[in-house]
Structure 1
C-alpha cells in the first residue's frame, strides 16, 4: 500500500515506521522545516513505572520493548535502559511507595522499594536526604531532539520513504491530501498525527475530538560534572501519575499538601541527563486556554530548589527554558483518540504526556486497525 502520514513528531514518525516495517510505501509531511512541537520539548522518557494499570501500562510495556528493538538499528536514538528512581523524602511519600511496591503488578513494572543507601549505590549523584526510593528498572530514555531525524534517516535508506517538510496540509479527502504548495498526494491510507494542531482540515473532519490541550514549562542545565545514572522523579510525581492512586496517596494528600507553587502549577519534578551531560528538568501543567505566551519564573525557582535538595548541592546553571503544548485524550481513560474520520483516513491524537513513551505501541495498534 501507499501510506501518507501527516505530522513529523514522534507519533507520526512511529506510524511511518510501522507502515514501512509492514512492507508499504510512505510519504510523511510536516508543516515546519523540522518537528518543533511536544515531540522535541519533552524529557525523552520511556516511562513504564507510573502508567495506569490495564491497557495503559500494557501499551507502555510493549512500547518499551519496541524502543529497545528499534535502537538496535538506530543508535542515533540515544536509547539507554537507565531505569528511574522516584525519591521519597517524607513519611507519607514512603507509605505510598511501600504500598505500591507491594502491589500486584510492581514486579511486572520492574519496581522495588529501596533504602536510601541502596538508592545511592545505583545513583551516587543523589546525595540529598531521602527516606527511600522506588527503583523502576523498566524505565528508559532516548534523546528527543535527535530521535526523529535518526529514525527518518533509517527509513529513507529503505527507498520506500519520502520526507516532505515545510508542507502544511490544507485539504484531506479519501485517498489523498493536498499541501500548501498545491501538490496532491495520493494514498490508500492517510494517518493524521498533527499533535496539538487540530484546526484547518482536521477540524473539518473531526469538529470536536475528545481531547484537551495541555501547556508545560521545562528547562535544561549546563552539563552536570558527574553521571546521573538514572532518570529521577520526586514525590510530587506520586500525585501526578495514575499508578499510585489509592488510600495511601489520599492520606499523603491530606497530611502533606504540596507547596503552593507546585499546587498552583500542577507540578512534579522529572530529571533526565542528556548525552551531553546537561539535565532536562520539569515540569508544569496548565489546562485552561488561552495559554500565556510567556513563561513564569516561580515554577523554575521551585524546580531548582527541588533539584538542589535531591542532589545535595545546587543544580548547574540553567542554559535553556521553554514551553510546549500537547494534546491529551479525554475519552474515558483511553490511551489515545483514534478515529477513522473518512474512509481510509485516520486521526490519531491525544496521547498527552505519554507520547514519547507509548508512540511505538500506538502506531502498531493503528496499523493493525487500519489493515496495514
Structure 2
C-alpha cells in the first residue's frame, strides 16, 4: 500500500516508521520546513512511571520497548535508559513516594524508594538537601530536537519513504491529497497527525475534535559541567501524574499547598540533561485560551530556585526559553483521539504530554486498526 502521513512531528514520524516497517510505501508531508511544534519543544522523556493504571501504562510500557529497539537502529536518536528520580523534600512528599513504591504496580513501573545516600550514589550531581527519592528504572530519554531528522534518515534508507516539507495539505480526495502548491499526492490511506493544529482541512473533516490545547513554558541551560545520570523531578510532579493518586497524595494536597508561583502556573520541576551537557528544565501548564504570546519570568525563577536546591548549587545560566502547545484528548479514558474522518483517512491527535512517551505504541495501534 501507499500511505500518506500528514504531519512531521514525532507522532506522524512514528506512524511513517510503522508503515515502512510493515513493507508499505510512505509519503510524509509537513507544512513547515521542519517540525517545530510540541515534538521538539519537550523534554524528550519516555516517562513510564507516572502513567495511569490500565491502558495508559500498558501503552507506555509497550512504547518503552519499541523506543529501545528503534534507538538501537538509530543512534542519532540519543536513546538512553537513564531512569528518573523524583526527589522529595517533605514528610508529605515522602509518604506519597513510599505509598506508590509499596503498591501493586511498583515492579511493573520499576519503582524503588531510595534513601539520601542511595540517591546521591545513583546521581552524584544531586548534592542538595532532601529526604529521599522515588527511583523509576523504566523511564528513559531521547533527544527531541534531532529525533525526527534521525528517524527520517533511517526511513530513507528503506527506499520506500519520501519526505515533503513546506506543503500544507488543502484537500482530501478518494485517491489522496492535494497540497497548497496544487500538487497531488496519491495514496491508499491518509493519516492526519497534525498535533495542536486542528484548523483548516482538519476542521472541515472532523469539525471540533474532542481535544484541548495546553501551553507550556520551558528552558535550556548552559552545560552543567558534569553528568546528570538520571532525569530528575521534584515532589510537585506527584500532583500532575495519575500514577500517584491515592490517600497520601490527598493528604499532601490538603496540607502542603504549592508556592504561589507554582500554583498559579500549575508547575512541576522536570530536569533532563541533553547529550551536550545542557539541561532542559520546566514546566508550566496553561489551559485557558487565548494563550499569551510571550513567556513569563516568574516560573523560570521558581524552577531555577528548586533545581538549585536539589543540585546544591546554582543552576547554569539559561540560554534558551520557549513556550510550546500540545493537544490533549478530553476523553480521560483514551490515550489519543483516533477518528476515521473519511473512508480513506484517519485523524490521530491529542496524546497530550504522553506524545513523546507513547508515540511508537500509538502508531502501532493505528497500523493494526488499518490492517497494514
Q: Shift of residue 175 of structure 1?
A: 3.1
Q: Would you say 1:248 and 2:248 are equivalent positions?
A: yes
Q: Please give the TM-score of this superposition, normalised by the length of structure 1.
A: 0.99
Aligned to 2:221: 221
Which residues of structure 1 form unaligned runs of 5+?
A: none
Aligned to 2:117: 117
Aligned equivalents of 1:155, 1:332: Cα separation in 2: 33
Aligned to 1:321: 321
How many equivalent pairs are there?
A: 372
Q: Would you say 1:105 and 2:105 are equivalent positions?
A: yes
Q: Shift of residue 143 of structure 1?
A: 0.3
Aligned to 2:347: 347
Q: Shift of residue 173 of structure 1?
A: 2.8
Q: Is the 8 A contact 1:212 1:328 kept in 2?
A: yes
Q: Please give the TM-score of this superposition, normalised by the length of structure 2.
A: 0.99
Let me know the Cα RMSD of the aligned residues. 0.6
Q: Is the 8 A contact 1:173 1:342 kept in 2?
A: no
Q: Would you say 1:21 and 2:25 are equivalent positions?
A: no
SS in 2 for 1:233: strand
Moved over 3 A (4+): none
Q: Shift of residue 184 of structure 1?
A: 1.0
SS in 2 for 1:158: coil
Aligned to 2:38: 38
Q: Would you say 1:301 and 2:287 are equivalent positions?
A: no
Q: Shift of residue 231 of structure 1?
A: 0.2
Deviations 1:67-124 (A, max 9, x none): 0001111000000000000001100000000000011001111111010110110001
Aligned equivalents of 1:182, 1:344: Cα separation in 2: 20
Q: Is the 8 A contact 1:174 1:345 kept in 2?
A: no
Aligned to 1:148: 148
Q: Would you say 1:330 and 2:330 are equivalent positions?
A: yes
Q: Shift of residue 366 of structure 1?
A: 0.3
Aligned to 1:194: 194
SS in 1 for 2:60: helix
Q: Is the 8 A contact 1:336 1:349 kept in 2?
A: yes
Q: Shift of residue 333 of structure 1?
A: 2.5
Aligned equivalents of 1:93, 1:222: Cα separation in 2: 30
Aligned equivalents of 1:238, 1:152: Cα separation in 2: 35
Aligned equivalents of 2:246, 2:137: Cα separation in 1: 23
Aligned to 2:184: 184
SS in 1 for 2:356: helix
Q: Shift of residue 332 of structure 1?
A: 3.3
Deviations 1:231-276 (A, max 9, x none): 0000000000010011110000011000111111111100000000
Aligned equivalents of 1:3, 1:53: Cα separation in 2: 33
Q: Shift of residue 278 of structure 1?
A: 0.2
Q: Shift of residue 359 of structure 1?
A: 0.1
Answer with 166-175 or 315-324: which moved more. 166-175
Q: Shift of residue 25 of structure 1?
A: 0.2
Aligned equivalents of 1:322, 1:287: Cα separation in 2: 17
Aligned equivalents of 1:75, 1:39: Cα separation in 2: 18
Aligned to 2:94: 94
SS in 2 for 1:26: strand
Aligned equivalents of 1:27, 1:34: Cα separation in 2: 15
Aligned to 1:76: 76
SS in 1 for 2:43: coil
Aligned equivalents of 1:182, 1:268: Cα separation in 2: 45
